[in-house]
Structure 1
Amino acid sequence: MKTNMNLWCGTGEFSCVTSTIKKILALFLVLGFALSTQNAFAEHPGAPSDNGVQPMYVDGNPTCSELSTGIEGLMEFRINDPGEGMFGDGDIMVDIDIQPDKTFDWTVSGGVIIQSIFVKGGPAGNLYEYYSDGGAITTSDGGLHSPVNHKNGNYYGLSHISFCYTPGLPEITLVKDCTFGEVVGGDALRYNYELTVTNTGTLPLWDVKVVDTTAEGIDGAGSHTTNVGYLDVDGSQIITGSFVVSQNGILNHAMATGATEPGGPVATEDMASWECPEQNLLGSLSLEKDCDVVVVLNGYGDYGLQVNYSGEVCNTSEITINDVFVQDNKDPNPHFIGTLTPMGTPGACADYAGSYVPVPGEGELGEGTPGFYVGAFTDMVTATGVPVFGDLSPVMPAEAECTLCPQCVDMEMCPTPASAINLE
């Protein structure tokens, strides 16, 4: 049975004409929305990468040399039908990690500069530029993708990925020199160092830091660390400093590090060692001595002679001398002086004094010679010590003649000088 559409249309709230027009308008709206959506996605590169690099939509299938002109030594590493894993060509090694939304992450190694990356998918591709401004070196990024598919708003599947790169290698070189400065306080030495750090690689370096590790270990952390900062290719900087050490001669070490991007990990380092030379620092002492002969009462109630001697021992060098002793060759008791500071400082000299009973038989005239024939009694003092550096120079003994008889008012009553005695 046929339905009478005219009757239905005539009895409805709206006429058939009105209903038909509404359907046609709705269809146009759907078609228009679809077309506008496709136009919105047409030639759309999509969102930026995790590092904030905005891709550029590029038609066709260009090579790296076509995408980036004027870059000397530019090379291309192309991965067709990319999947997850490690890929390389001997100069570059790339680790690819593909995500479910058709984006991928990459990490590169092998000492290269990634100039740009072209991601092909569908009729075109996305170009990510990384080093066009000559700035920091990028070694990894994430969220890269092909252009947006205008039919569904998703990214096209990955057809191939081209890494456009130039060979490059970060390298830093450190040269060191260490020289003697001066003696400090008599028991320490100051050494001066000079460090020359140079960017000898093919990449700019950031966060360059130079540390004299030996000096820092002696004087405290941070006091011998220099933050150089940025070093362009072939750029260099000289760093100087000094440190005080309580040993004569030392092997001094230093280190330099640098990164290929600000705040990045250490990409290159170098160590340098240099012998801070041992110094020929000799200690030296001088001696002075005087003596007097006096008459004293001995323990047996008799009178006898006694030699009283005294003098001064001095440090005549620039280094401290420890364990100083003074010894009179007629007195069995040595004099312990202790430490003498460097020449010209308080404590560089010390007094000594002692006494002994002279024995004529020990004089120059030999055993058995009567004492009244000895015109003078000669003895000597010597000094020894231990310098903090090096050895002790030979110490000249201090000599003094002590006349056993007091000076006579009447020369005829004086003993005959020893040199005038006729032993025959």
Structure 2
Amino acid sequence: MGRRGFLRWGLAGAGAVAAPGLLSGCASPASPSGASSLRVWDLFSGGDGLLMDEMIEAASSGPDAFDVDRTILEWGASYYTKLAMAAAGGRAPEVAVLHLSRLAGYAPGGLIEPFDLDILAEFGIAEEHFAPAIWERAQWEGEVYAIPLDTHPFIVFYDKEIAGNAGLLDSDGELAPLGSPEAMYAASEALAEEQGGAGVLFGHIADESQCWRLFNGLYAQTGAVWELPEGGEPRVDEEAAVRVLTFMTEMFDGRRNPNNLDYIGAMAAFQGSRGAMIFAGEWELPNLRITDRPLGAAPFPQIFDQPAVNADSHSFVLPRQERVDQARRREAHRYVATMLKASYTWASAGHIPAYQPVIAEDRYAELDPQASYAGASEIAVLDPPNWFTGSGSNFQNQMTQPMSAALLGNTSPEAAVARMISASKSLLDQPNPVA
């Protein structure tokens, strides 16, 4: 993770993961700015973890190097619990990674602190460098509490050769617009015919988020908003919600396309050439490109009235400190700016860099298939903001369960939507534990 960095357990406990690197000893060495070693928490393991190692290694060399004290924690609810506890106790790191959809659970309770935009500007980072859809969600009550590193949308991967033979590609060899449920049904049937198997794959059985990811983007395409106002009732367009879920159940009805796949099964089927297209997160790119298939990708197709894709964003935040060391706080801003400017490396995992100048580079345009879905960041839709929503949350699980039952034919779209609204109401009735 860098020649002078080290990992430590601390509050991370058994959830921390050791990565390659040299221990710097008990003392915190000084960085070029005069601040001591910068403490950073993140949740990146596997391929993402290795890429973050590479970015930190680059930042930890040269005349303006950082000394990074990095802790890697297991992704999931435990990460957010530990981060909240550390911030509440004033013992948090200087920088942490947070899914942007989780911001509403941290900013209002004072668990994270706003960035100083003037300091960021000194290091070349400004609002103009981010897609408006993402930058807007990085704010709370007029202040910026998160700086996005990436956008990671729910997209479609497909076999280019099969899609071409099915007549679904445009003159540039990219997936042509669809524009309606009927067009999507027809496309899946054409893919199935060319594939000689399934047209479109989607794994949802026993998964806590998949149905919500698919639903949330499609629901936004209708122009409707799933609102969860504090102290109020859910505001939901039931007709639009039923319309979307009906499309999902008809798309995956067990005849047109499989309706009983779990996540791993769907991935394996696509990798094994038993399906021509898969609905999945862009983070699966490294797993899918190791096959010999001619892999294409695109933002999730517009099926309803307007373009929208479900997405989230790994973002940097400044956890609350009991005593703020201004030199270390400034160093935290510099570290964030450095990571953003190095995010071309991050793009190799499939993530869309949030820092737009990286996307504008010629070398990014040559990334295949990443460049094909870079526009998804402009139409990204995150979870409705509230303390209980966001990636890995119980909210996503409670939304997904009734929808998964509907896809299996165990309940109607109308009944499933009613359960989703009821679950939303129950969650709104619970007090915010950090308010």
For this structure pair, what is the TM-score category when the shorter chain's length is used for normalisation? under 0.3
Q: Which has the higher strand share?
A: 1
Q: Which has the higher contact order (CA 8 A, sep 6+)?
A: 2
Task: Give the TM-score taking structure 2 as reference length.
Answer: 0.16
Task: Give the TM-score taking structure 1 as reference length.
Answer: 0.16
Q: Which has the higher helix share?
A: 2
